[in-house]
């Protein structure tokens, strides 16, 4: 829990005081090094001074990192009530501090033996010593959506099934009168002709689903903005089986759908006054005698036939049917999707920037501005007229893989582009940013990051 107060309380177990090198405290006899945590006991209360280094070199990313470090330090393991005293009155810096305190200490330990950490207090009460502002409360609320997304992505694939994601959505929208939901299961998907979605799932014993939540937060005549998430609860690659060192983390292939859940949670909490669609295209790409095959030609909801060049290019098939169905039946003015779509995007941008593709410069500009403000980073990559030649097939309307070797993130985006019609559209390839392996990066530990949640919530707020 986090709260804000302009006055210090005396009953805190610990106080965290953030100091740049240009700031001092009479209780300190020397300047703190960057990253140094200096403890001081005052009566029964622990005071932790945290060195931030030179103010002119302190970035908001680094500020989040330093806040995370102190919250994960051994000094605070048994502490529940904490007072956090910023070094600044700058709104952007204070929001970064809030994110460092709420996003940074996250640890996925659901399956660890509890007795080992029984002495650790995980749910802390944090009071930030600043005047209450709406934007601070919004930042704290958005972090809860990030946490939900991370929890969904980090859990086991046989636990986070399509049924579980449906339950998650229904739990989120329960009691909200401004919401309606449409759910297409296997029977409905088949009856309506979503053949691409069904093909990806046909070797699985799990139910495929297309979930569409309609949120009426704006005026009745306002067009929808659709937020679409790829939800492959596990991706083996199909008959084009993924190799070792790649398949182990494929429970994360539903990160886009999980981010949609996180954004939905944020929208409901913040009461955003927009008409929105939250769309989850959910399937499991398994192997077996029923699996769809390289060389198959499959017809989707849009009526376009697709030659299967590789069964591991499956997410774009599920999204293609989701796009087509939403565009025809809901007619959104804008559509933004998130998907762990291509390894090529990771090769191009690494793990710190999502790839952004768009058919509209103004939408791309707005999304990049939100990415910059939230540190939920994105970099624009191209789609262009000539690139559609690379996804043509001699035996079908399209092919789900490219005829050229390079530019895989762009050709995948162009495949999606073929199913948006005239809708203003943007695509976020979060293949690199959605998950951290090893010790993590920035202010994330090992596991899911919640990529896209802060970015798109910020965009919707604006």
Residues belonging to the active site: 242, 316
**CB contact at 8 A, 398 and 369:** no
Q: Is 371 helix (H, G, I), strand (E, B) or coil?
A: helix
DSSP state of 447: E
Query: 406-423 in b/e burial notation, b at 16+ Cβ within 10 A?
Result: ebbbbbbbbbbbbbbeeb
- Count other Cβ atoms within 10 Å, centred on residue 207: 17
Distance, CA of 4 to CA of 18 (rounded, Å): 16
Q: How many CA atoms lie within 13 A of 453 on its CB side?
A: 33
Residues ≥6 apart with Cβ < 8 Å to 25: 17, 19, 49
Q: What gap in Å lies between CA 425 and CA 415, rounded to an integer? A: 13
| Closest residue by Cα to residue 96 from 61, 58, 68 | 61
Return the half-sphere exposure (C-beta side, CA atoms, 13 A cut-off) of residue 232: 32
CA distance 310 to 301: 20
Q: Are 377 and 402 in contact (CB under 8 A)?
A: no
- The arrangement of strands across the sheet holding 334-339 comes to 179-184, 209-216, 275-285, 225-235, 334-339, 424-429, 354-358, 378-380
> Rounded to whole angstroms, how far apart are CA atoms 122 and 425?
40
Task: Give me the helices (H) in 271-360, please.
Answer: 315-330, 343-349
How far apart CA 403 and CA 316 sit, in angstroms, is: 16
């Amino acid at each position: 829990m986090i709260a804000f107060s302009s006055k210090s309380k005396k009953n805190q177990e610990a106080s965290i005081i953030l100091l740049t090198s240009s700031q001092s405290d009479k209780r300190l006899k020397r300047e703190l090094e960057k990253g140094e945590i200096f403890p001081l006991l005052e009566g029964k209360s622990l005071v932790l001074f945290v060195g931030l280094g030179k103010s002119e070199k302190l970035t908001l990313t680094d500020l989040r990192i330093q806040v995370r470090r102190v919250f994960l330090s051994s000094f605070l393991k048994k502490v529940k009530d904490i007072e956090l005293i910023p070094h600044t009155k700058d709104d952007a810096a204070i929001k970064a501090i809030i994110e460092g305190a709420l996003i940074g200490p996250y640890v996925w330990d659901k399956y660890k033996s509890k007795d080992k950490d029984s002495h650790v207090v995980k749910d802390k009460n944090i009071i930030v010593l600043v005047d209450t502002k709406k934007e601070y409360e919004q930042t704290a609320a958005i972090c809860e959506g990030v946490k939900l997304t991370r929890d969904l992505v980090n859990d086991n694939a046989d636990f986070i099934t399509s049924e579980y994601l449906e339950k998650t959505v229904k739990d989120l929208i329960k009691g909200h009168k401004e919401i309606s939901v449409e759910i297409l299961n296997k029977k409905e998907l088949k009856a309506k002709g979503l053949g691409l979605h069904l093909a990806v799932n046909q070797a699985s014993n799990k139910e495929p689903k297309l979930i569409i939540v309609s949120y009426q937060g704006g005026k009745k005549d306002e067009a929808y903005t659709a937020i679409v998430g790829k939800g492959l609860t596990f991706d083996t690659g199909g008959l084009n089986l993924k190799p070792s060192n790649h398949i182990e983390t494929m429970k994360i292939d539903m990160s886009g759908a999980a981010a949609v859940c996180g954004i939905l949670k944020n929208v409901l909490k913040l009461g955003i006054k927009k008409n929105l669609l939250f769309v989850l295209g959910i399937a499991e790409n398994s192997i077996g005698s029923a699996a769809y095959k390289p060389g198959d030609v499959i017809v989707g909801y849009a009526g376009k036939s697709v030659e299967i060049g590789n069964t591991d290019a499956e997410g774009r098939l599920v999204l293609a049917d989701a796009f087509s169905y939403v565009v025809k039946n809901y007619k959104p003015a804008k559509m933004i999707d998130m998907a762990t779509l291509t390894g090529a995007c990771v090769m191009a941008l690494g793990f710190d920037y999502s790839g952004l593709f768009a058919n509209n410069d103004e939408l791309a500009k707005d999304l990049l501005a939100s990415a910059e403000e939230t540190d939920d980073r994105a970099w624009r990559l191209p789609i262009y007229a000539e690139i559609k030649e690379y996804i043509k097939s001699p035996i079908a309307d399209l092919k789900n893989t490219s005829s050229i070797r390079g530019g895989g993130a762009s050709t995948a985006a162009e495949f999606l582009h073929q199913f948006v019609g005239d809708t203003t559209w943007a695509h976020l390839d979060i293949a690199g940013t959605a998950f951290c392996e090893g010790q993590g990066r920035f202010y994330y530990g090992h596991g899911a990051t919640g990529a896209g949640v802060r970015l798109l919530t910020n965009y919707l707020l604006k």
